[in-house]
Structure 1
């Protein structure tokens, strides 16, 4: 072997040893990182295990059978992804245009009309018994699960156990977990088929377990309340919920209306109910411009996109819809989709697309700014709800603007400036 060849061999040897040493060091780092994370992982597992042990004692004290307690809680899994979803909040606030336009489509309307025809006999029988019109049940079905197209793919008991053992809303989800076990105890569904959303909503109509126990019905007569596999049970249970929530038979949810150019938008809001006769005197007409038949039935006025968007008069039944979901946007979508399924046309005035993206942090700051100005906007939670819109309307009145409660970037900046000056 020449001297040069020997030197090259020696260099290759040292390079190989250097590479091996690097890999060894990297593996040590990985192991150490794993060891550092182990206490946290073990703590989470141990905490969940201790929680489930306590849950077993609680479930047995609530007279849930040992069979169900063992069947559910011996195999229940902690799902970190459920906690992530519970903590997740959208970065930007949802506008009415964004909400409504993604949920009311021609395809969904046509599918709803077809299902209304397909299940007409069943739905007419339910309407005769409960007073709930068929198109509303189909509308809820469409918005909740796209007519049964997607129930969610989470184990309800795993999701509820994960949330019950998390401190944020433990009491609420503990109750829901116990109620889910009561449903299993009653034999309405098997644990394997009890699937739903990450938060535990179940079946065609996305009932939480407590809602299931209070309102679910066995309509098809097979001895089980099956909201997953039985359309009669699902429709009848939804109707029972609405009836017991105070639905007034023969009263529509509301309607789109046209407002006069001089309208006082300070009259808008769910807490300001006037009779139809009073709204007529204020110049409110149907969306087509035709007169509204006056009556003493009381309605509230909503302008979810401000004065440039559609306006709606909503009845007591609208408030019943909101017992299902506390969102005005949701209830407006249910009502309009029901109308479309029954044959009505689309809105005459569509909500204008909002180009401004307002973040939840900006809304939170807005709520604090309004409080600085002596206007109560409710909790500074970053949610643009009815209390915050009412507070915005108050500011608009105070500053001689159109008091429609609608927020855009120009108004946001004006409120920020006013609050800054007031705090000096």
Structure 2
């Protein structure tokens, strides 16, 4: 979903942890350039340098969904006409917006953007009201973590990921060797962000960024993204109408925001352009690996591992902020779900994303690196688990509290207000279930004699309502 350093999406993801959009699960995979067959040495590079089992390299059968049959030209033309009319209905010729563009052009010229670029970039651009509506309504979406993971790490997405891993094995081996980021993690981000390129987004980025900047709710942020997009055009990496992506500005196979593109995008195929928009994902995959590497990725370290907690575990020790040596957790009796001690990969935390009744994880520093791509726990877990599954790893052994539903944004605010009234919470009422709210829930749970796991469930809200 997000492109790198996506402040906008980051805010939404924190507000509603499970509210992330699910990339299409059954979309036809895009037609891409065939990858040359990998030689034995290249295959060995992934298989021997990666800490994971090389079983993913054994995938040899393409399992692409069947494309829809061709439709008659007359029907296709009519459908295109209707789509164009629907799109036009969301774009308005607002004279105030035109005046804002002219003022913005003056400022952009002063910042070094060429006049020719500005003319081409804003040709035909109109106020996109659909983008503004989607921006205004983000906080209302709500989805349980396990529902998100059911889609994000579905059998179809795992299967397609292994197919793409096999198809691009030579390219991925070179990317892994250069940036020292495991190939399956890069492929997992690709799968989550655009369903392996099938859903890269078709919104005009210049029009979207201009509309959002004009709207003014986060004017500075979107003006910064708009200037960055114009610099990309100035550099000649793409043309204005080819610069498409999500309604909030994320672009290409792995959904980079314009500012992140300027800082981290790579020309890995050596054609002189950092092209993340085309059917060939090479530059996008390398850019993602580069981003993770620049943010501190440790090669050979897991993002996290499923664990079992001992009877009597002190739930006050759980939480991303409680970082302890692995030996500490082993001494506490925490064990891998598959059996045995936790291997020493440095400082680690115990994460309970759905409380004591859900999957328990031990997470390492690479978890936090993926957070730099998108800080929502749901997203990080999905990327990590999908990467493990693409690499041949098992599904989670524990289940989730599927009888629960996700709290709505209004309910999360109510939860905080009621915790505040009960004397357990003194922070801002913002609907964000972060460390402070989790700690407040834990204090309330301890006060009423239930397992203090910090899980903000509907039953906890109902208990608060009863006083």
Partner of 1:245: 295
In the alignment, what sits opposite 1:346?
Answer: 395
Q: Is 1:234 aligned to 2:281, yes or no?
A: no
Which of 409, 412, 423 does residue 374 from structure 1 map onto?
Answer: 423
Structure 1 distance, partners of 2:110, 2:447, is 57
| 1:92-125 superposed Cα distances (whole Å, 9 cap, x missing partner) | 6332112211211111111111111211111111
Change (3 A) 1:178 1:90: closer
Q: Does structure 2 retain, via aligned residues, the 8 Å contact 1:95–1:354?
A: no
Deviating beyond 6 angstroms after TM superposition, the runs of 4 or more aligned structure 1 residues are none
Q: Is the 8 A contact 1:361 1:382 kept in 2?
A: yes
| Correspondent of 1:264 among 308, 314, 317 | 314
Q: Deviations over 1:60-116 (max 9, x none)?
A: 011000101111234321101111000113546332112211211111111111111
Separation in structure 2 between the aligned mates of residue 219 and residue 127 of structure 1, nearest angstrom:
12
Equivalent residue for 1:220? 269
Question: What is residue 84 of structure 2 aligned with on the other side?
Answer: none
Whether 2:466 is the aligned partner of 1:413: answer no
Kindly indicate whether residue 127 of structure 2 is the aligned counterpart of residue 55 of structure 1. no
Q: Distance in 2 between matches of 1:383 and 1:142?
A: 27
Larger relative contact order (CA 8 Å, sep ≥ 6): 2
Q: Which residue of 2 aligns with 1:134?
A: 183
Rounded Cα–Cα distance in structure 2 between residues aligned with 1:412 and 1:92: 19
Which stretches in structure 2 are left out of the alignment for 5+ residues? 1-90
Number of the residue aligned with 1:201: 250
Query: Gaps spanning 5+ residues in structure 1: where?
Result: 1-40, 419-424
Q: 1:273 and 2:327 equivalent?
A: no
Q: Residue 305 of structure 1 contacts residue 406 of structure 1 at CA under 8 Å; is this kept in 2?
A: yes
Give the TM-score normalised by structure 2: 0.77
Q: Which residue of 1 aligns with 2:150?
A: 101
Match of 1:7 in 2: none
Deviation at 1:296, TM superposition (A): 7.1
Q: TM-score, normalised by structure 1?
A: 0.85
The change in CA–CA distance for 1:357 and 1:328 in structure 2 (over 3 A counts) is: closer
Quick check: 1:77 aligned with 2:151?
no
- Per mean C-alpha deviation after superposition, the further-off stretch among 205-214 and 93-102 is 93-102
Cα offset for 1:359? Answer: 2.3
Question: Is this contact kept in 1: 2:94–2:126, CA < 8 A?
Answer: no
1:331 maps to 2:375 = no
Counterpart in 1 of 2:53? none
Match of 1:9 in 2: none
Q: Give the aligned partner of residue 390 of structure 1.
A: 439
Residue in structure 1 matched with residue 346 of structure 2 by the alignment: 297
Task: Note if contact 1:136-1:334 (Cα within 8 Å) is conserved in structure 2.
Answer: yes
Q: Assess, with a 3 A threshold, how the Cα gap between structure 1 residues 91 and 342 changes in structure 2: closer, same or farther.
A: same
Which residue of structure 1 lines up, in the alignment, with residue 217 of structure 2? Answer: 168
Aligned-partner SS, 1:224: coil
Number of residue pairs matched by the alignment:
376
Q: Compare the two structures and name the one with the higher helix fraction.
A: 1
Structure 1 residues 377, 154: closer, same or farther in 2, change over 3 A? farther
Larger radius of gyration: 1
TM-superposition CA deviations, 1:394-417 (whole Å, max 9, x none): 222333321111123331122234
Q: Which residue of 2 aligns with 1:20?
A: none
Q: Give 3-state SS (helix, strand or coil) of 2:372's partner.
A: helix
